[in-house]
Amino acid sequence: MTDPTGAVADAQKDNWLDRYAPDPVKPYGRLARWDRPIGFYLLFWPCAWGIGLAAVFQPALGFGWWAAILMFLGAILMRGAGCTFNDIVDRDIDMQVARTRSRPIPSGQVTTREAFYFLIAQALLASAILFQFNRFTVYAAIASLVLVAIYPFMKRITWWPQLFLGLAFSYGALVGWSSQTGGLSWAPVMLYAGTILWVIGYDTIYALQDIEDDALVGVKSTARLFGDNVRPAVAVLYAGAFLLWNVASLMVGGGVIFAALSLVGAGLMAWQLWTLDREVPLNPFHRFYNNHYVGMALTLALLAEWVW
């Protein structure tokens, strides 16, 4: 049943957008997920990791705080644009899934044409931020748009749509590094690879919320693919992520500080799996959301390694 206020089913009750935004803005804010900020946090943290890894590699340059601010704003805009595009593509599927039928397009708050115009506006603002960086970073970020464009279609053709989300959502690790160094090396590639595994893991947990509806509609996901083996499968993904993050740190001269503090992130991921229960309402969502703190922990670990 659609909320008469227009609020989206999986948004936090009384979130700032529903409480304070002008009524004409609310449908567009919901389309961009401003009422659910976890997405742009998870898009931003790999950017911060890339910047932090570069600071460990070249300590004299310092941590790129200005780059981090720009990338945070860019993450809000690009996550909003990506969600808008996703909702345009998935509007028919969203009508058939309980958690998503209250979204602005299927609920009639925004037309497909209006959503398209909003998509263009967000992309233009994100471009203005992107062009503040060096040429290599600009080209690298533009190349990532291919991943953003194909992701919404993957759930129709492969059991691994979370892999394609990982390729797109982890790209900030490369962009963050290149914004400071002007190029790439194997260390940020290892960071990127580890982050892809992390994203596949946490989005598999997220997809547990829709597993019954997805089966009825015919939408594929790693949650459905793994079935009763979700917990051990995600454990392998998380362990691989943790290992590759530490390999990346070692490749740039990181040492015991990062290795020790990164165990906080490992502990959080272990807690997610230990307490995961698909049968308890909101349990998968809260374990998914916990990855915001994993991102924060890894960023602080890199900052501590740089300071040391």
pLDDT in tens, the chain (308 residues): 445 556 766 667 778 888 888 989 999 999 999 988 899 999 999 999 999 999 999 998 899 999 999 999 999 999 999 999 989 988 888 788 777 788 889 988 999 999 999 999 999 999 999 999 999 999 999 999 999 889 989 988 999 999 999 999 999 999 999 999 999 999 999 999 999 999 999 999 999 998 988 888 888 999 999 999 999 999 999 999 999 999 999 999 999 999 999 999 999 999 999 999 999 989 999 999 999 999 999 999 999 999 98
Task: Say how far apart CA 167 and CA 273 lie, in whole Å.
Answer: 23
The pLDDT assigned to 1 comes to: 45
Domains in the chain, please, with CATH?
A: 17-307 (1.10.357.140)
Residue type, 139: Y
Per-residue model confidence (pLDDT) at position 216: 83
Cβ proximity of 239 and 265 under 8 Å = no
Q: What distance in Å separates the CA atoms of residue 132 and residue 29, rounded to the nearest whole number?
A: 25
Between CA 34 and CA 16 the distance in angstroms is 9
d(CA 289, CA 78): 19
pTM above threshold 0.85: yes
Three-state DSSP at 64 gives: coil
* Backbone CA torsion sign across 12, 14, 18, 21: negative
Q: CB atoms < 10 A from the CB of 72, how many?
A: 17
The amino acid sitting at 231 is R
Q: Nearest 10 degrees: CA dihedral of 144, 147, 152, 158?
A: -160
Structure confidence at residue 94 (pLDDT): 78
Hunting for tokens 């070692």 — which residue is that?
250
Tokens linked to 103: 């979204």
Q: Which of 109, 43, 112, 52 is nearest to 78 (CA)?
A: 43
Q: What is the CA radius of gyration of the chain?
A: 19
